[in-house]
């Protein structure tokens, strides 16, 4: 549904993005992650037809964003990081105005306004002046506007920026509810949000794509070992030495707590049952046994915490 091939954009002699390529399938929710200045907003602006690439091509719903810009944009609902709202308008009035700009007929417009007001939980604020709304409700109005013409593709730039924790949960649930009916690509700095909302992540750093996969697959690729945290009642030195002799265990490190050990095992093995049985058999008193999962934040830091490469010349 979204396709980018070799997208490159220079601002003067400075490359904002370099050879960016990826695809987003129909009905997917994909997160676009990267540090500040990595090229996220530039890529999204190219996809929405706001700016052209220097090289490369991109298409949305089969339409080239440069050669068939109007058709491509008809298939996109876009919410920029700074939502363009008219503070003196009322919510329903603003949505009617936005729908008319999309060329929607009056009957269709009435139906779609009622639908997006209900979907975004804005019915009680339909006649409120936008300037009086909280930031959370303004974000909902922005999403309602993006959904108004029923586009197959939604591109959301930092949709939860500046929201409080409760508002973030509400917007996250709204975005998840769009899965299947809409293809959603969103950028965010809140990594747990991406992990809980999105099926895949695209990570960009210094203008180049460094990873495209599911959070779980990225974690597996970056980890050479699986770590188990074990705590036993017996804190004698022999415990760690004997655990190290188990097949599949590659390293044992003492933890911060009394009787705690961090046991590194090979990725392909799951030694939880064997390790538990081994500890119980020796009467060491098993108090805790759990795997240590690598979070999306760990993956992000691993892939983006590198020294900046020198800029390529045009």
Do 131 and 258 lie in one domain? The reply is: no
Examine residue 313 and state whether it is found in any structural domain, yes or no.
no
Co-location of 100 and 240 in the same domain: no
- Pick from 72-76, 96-100, 200-204, 307-311: least confident: 307-311
- Please, which residues have CB within 8 angstroms of residue 219's CB and are 6 or more apart in sequence? 293, 294, 295, 296, 298, 299
Residue 123 has pLDDT above 90, yes or no: yes
pLDDT for residue 80 = 87
Q: Could you tell me the pTM of the whole model?
A: 0.74
pLDDT value at residue 312:
45
Strand-pair partners of 77 = 154
- Are 64 and 193 in the same domain? yes
Query: pLDDT-derived band of residue 217, with 50, 70 and 90 as boundaries?
Result: confident
Query: Which residue did the predictor score with more confidence, 295 or 96?
Result: 96
302 or 275, which is more confident?
Answer: 275
The CA-CA-CA angle for residues 119, 71, 38, to 5°, reads: 75
78 & 144 share domain? yes
Using N-to-C axis directions, what is the helix angle for 215-222 and 296-304, rounded to 10°? 60
pLDDT, residue 27, reads 92
- What's the domain range around 74? 2-219
At residue 306 the predicted structure's pLDDT band, cuts being 50, 70 and 90, is: low
Pair (53, 94) in one structural domain: yes
In a domain, 298, yes or no: no
Whether residue 82 has pLDDT greater than 60? yes
**Over residues 42-64, mean pLDDT:** 95
The pLDDT, as a whole number, for residue 223 is 65
Same domain, 120 and 191: yes
Predicted confidence (pLDDT) at residue 153 exceeds the cutoff of 80:
yes
Please, which pLDDT band fits residue 309 given cuts at 50, 70 and 90? very low
CA distance 231 to 249: 16
304 within some domain: no
Considering the domain architecture, whether residues 138 and 264 belong to the same structural domain is answered as no
Same-domain status, 274 and 194: no
Residue 136 has pLDDT above 80, yes or no: yes
CATH for 161: 3.40.50.300
- Report the percentage of the chain scoring pLDDT > 70: 95
Q: What is the mean pLDDT of residues 2-27?
A: 96
Total tally of structural domains belonging to the chain: 2
DSSP states of 18-65: EEEEEEE-TT-EEEEE--TTSSHHHHHHHHTTSS--SEEEEEETTEET
Is the residue at 87 inside a domain? yes
Average pLDDT over residues 90-113: 95
Residue with tokens 């697959």: 217
């Amino acid at each position: 549904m979204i396709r980018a091939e070799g997208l490159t954009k220079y601002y003067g002699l400075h490359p904002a993005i370099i050879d960016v390529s990826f695809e987003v399938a129909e009905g997917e929710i994909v997160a676009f992650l990267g540090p500040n200045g990595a090229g996220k907003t530039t890529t999204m602006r190219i996809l929405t037809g706001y700016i052209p690439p220097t090289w490369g091509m991109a298409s949305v719903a089969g339409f080239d964003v440069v050669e068939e810009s109007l058709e491509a944009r008809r298939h996109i609902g876009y919410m920029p990081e700074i939502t363009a709202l008219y503070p003196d308008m009322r919510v329903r009035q603003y949505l009617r105005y936005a729908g008319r700009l999309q060329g929607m007929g009056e009957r269709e417009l009435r139906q779609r306004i009622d639908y997006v007001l209900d979907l975004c939980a804005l019915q009680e604020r339909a006649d409120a002046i936008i300037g009086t709304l909280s930031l959370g409700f303004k974000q909902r109005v922005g999403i309602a506007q993006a959904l108004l013409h029923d586009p197959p593709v939604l591109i959301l730039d930092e949709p939860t920026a500046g929201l409080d924790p409760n508002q973030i949960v509400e917007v996250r649930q709204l975005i998840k509810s769009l899965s299947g009916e809409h293809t959603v690509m969103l950028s965010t700095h809140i990594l747990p949000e991406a992990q809980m909302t999105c099926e895949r992540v695209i990570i960009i750093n210094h203008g180049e794509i460094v990873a495209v996969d599911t959070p779980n697959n990225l974690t597996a690729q970056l980890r050479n070992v699986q770590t188990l945290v074990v705590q036993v009642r017996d804190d004698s030195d022999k415990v760690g030495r004997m655990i190290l002799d188990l097949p599949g265990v590659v390293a044992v490190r003492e933890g911060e707590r009394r009787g705690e050990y961090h046991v590194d095992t090979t990725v392909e093995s799951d030694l939880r049952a064997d390790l538990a049985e081994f500890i119980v058999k020796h009467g060491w008193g098993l108090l805790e046994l759990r795997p240590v999962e690598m979070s999306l934040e760990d993956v992000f830091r691993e892939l983006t915490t590198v020294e900046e490469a020198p800029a390529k010349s045009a």
